[in-house]
Amino acid sequence: MATAKNSKSVLLVEDDGAIADVYSAYLSVEGYEVTHVETGADAFVVLKNQVPDAVLLDLKLPDMNGFDILEKINKQQIPTGVIVVTGEGSMKTAIDAMKLGARDFVVKPCDKNRLLLTVQNVIENQQLKEIVETYRDEIDRHSFNGFIGSSLSMQAVYRTIESAAKSKASVFVTGESGTGKEVCAEAIHRGSDRNNKPFVALNCGAIPKDLVESEIFGHVKGAFTGAAADRIGLAGQADGGTLFLDEICEMELSLQPKLLRFLQTGTFQRVGASKSEHVDVRIICATNRNPWVEVSEGRFREDLYYRLHVLPIELPPLRDRDADVVEIASHFLSVYSLEEGKSLNTFAPEVEASIQQFPWPGNVRQLQNVIRNIVVLNDGDIVTPEMLPAPLDVSVEVMRGNRINTVVPVASPILSSTVATNVDEIRPLEDIETEAIQSAIRLCNGNIPEAAFKLGISAATIYRKRINWKGE
């Protein structure tokens, strides 16, 4: 028999001294660390201060029933495997104990091999259970600090956020509009040691360019027309906490050197002020653009890019998150039904399929608005296809095989020209594919889901390809 590792511990709860000595000897020889107590009260003391790998529990104790200890272990979710010890003729008691959470049982008197094999199996099963629970809690999470979803791409995002939260470095979040960049920034702030200080957000694209500097750094009275009093900027408000600069690539080029100096020194001057101020803030920024393209085209300073782009996090679009879309839709359905006093609580199969297959160019924000629209305008328990707003209603009809905006097909010069008659007429396949898709969209009056259905591809494929077309 394999020898157990020395690190494994067993709590032996047994009031019969002779039996306890025998069991302790069996276990100690195999390398287990044995703690022996005779009463339930003493067992509670041990469990309060340490968690053994296994508990060998006699159900008949002088001060209480062993079921009391088993109940405490289960109620407090103490991660240990319990083996109950019972006398002959008490099999029903042992089975009842296993129904309440005991992992196995032994019958008195118990021989050495049976005891050691049982203890080893229970400890190994407990370790496997802990691994599974760790996977569920840390790897297979269905939600995380404001995010909903369990796809592999989001599991990676969750782990990156946890790592970034522990650091003081700047974080650069990228992703399409509606993917949750501010949610990501707030999650990093909540997981950091700054979580008891302010989280301050600014959308750089929503503020007039001549007011952005004042918004970030503040101003003194009389600095410009309308500056009727001194004002603390967002940098000052975020002192000790986190400053989130959304749509950072929208920031005017002339302001970027001042932001760079602030990042390097932690100091700034209010607009119109003559002295510098110092604050301690962590910067998280975000953009829905490709920041390196902005640098390459001269709209964003390269030195500022490198200063900010220390810990990059890219949020995947909803169309690349597998079944997350249905999970998120169900969450919003529950939330909005409760808010609106409605009873809608599930989706019809056709609706669920449509939600899953739709490409969601507006990502989670678009899905959120669609579900609220459904809840506000409809009643009932189940979301049916008739409740879907455009363009999801068309998507359902396409899946049913119905013709939407029927178009009489005509001979297309694009398609007829795909077959070359000589070497000089051979064209790149990518060009032919692009023209075929554009022609299908035109023939379907701009209805992308129908065009995709006719072409035998997914609508998401068309949306992805259009992103790469020049002029789109």
Q: Does 142 map to a domain?
A: no
Q: Does 408 map to a domain?
A: no
Identify whether residues 23 and 133 lie together within a single domain.
Answer: yes
The per-residue pLDDT for 423 is: 67
Q: Which residues of the chain have pLDDT under 50?
A: 1-6, 402-417, 470-472
Domain end call among 358, 375, 400: 400
CATH number of the domain residue 422 falls in: 1.10.10.60
pLDDT digits (tens, 9 = 90+) for 345-368: 999 988 998 898 888 999 999 999
Identify whether residues 292 and 156 lie together within a single domain.
Answer: yes
Q: Does 172 map to a domain?
A: yes
**Dihedral of the CA atoms 107, 112, 117, 120 (nearest 10)?**
100
Identify whether residues 157 and 244 lie together within a single domain.
Answer: yes
> Residue 359: how many CA atoms within 13 Å on its side-chain side?
17
Query: Would residue 401 be called left, alpha or beta, if left means φ above 0 and alpha means ψ between -120 and 50 degrees?
Result: left
Identify whether residues 302 and 347 lie together within a single domain.
Answer: no
Distance, CA of 357 to CA of 93 (rounded, Å): 53
pLDDT digits (tens, 9 = 90+) for 229-258: 999 999 999 999 999 999 999 999 999 999
How many distinct structural domains can be found in the chain? 4
Q: What tokens does 203 get? A: 């959308």
CB 78 within 8 A of CB 105: no
Identify whether residues 166 and 283 lie together within a single domain.
Answer: yes
Cβ-proximal residues to 358 (8 Å cutoff; 6+ apart), any chain:
325, 391, 392, 395, 449, 459
Beta strands in 38-108 (DSSP E): 54-58, 81-86, 104-107
Residue 149 burial class via C-beta count within 10 angstroms: exposed 0-12, middle 13-18, buried 19 and up? buried
The per-residue pLDDT for 390 is: 77
Domain end call among 296, 316, 336: 316
Q: Which residues, listed in sequence order, are joined to residue 232 by a DSSP beta bridge?
A: 218
Residues, the chain, total?
A: 472
pLDDT digits (tens, 9 = 90+) for 105-114: 888 888 899 9
What domain range is 61 assigned to? 9-137
Letter for the amino acid at 210? D
Q: Does 353 map to a domain?
A: yes
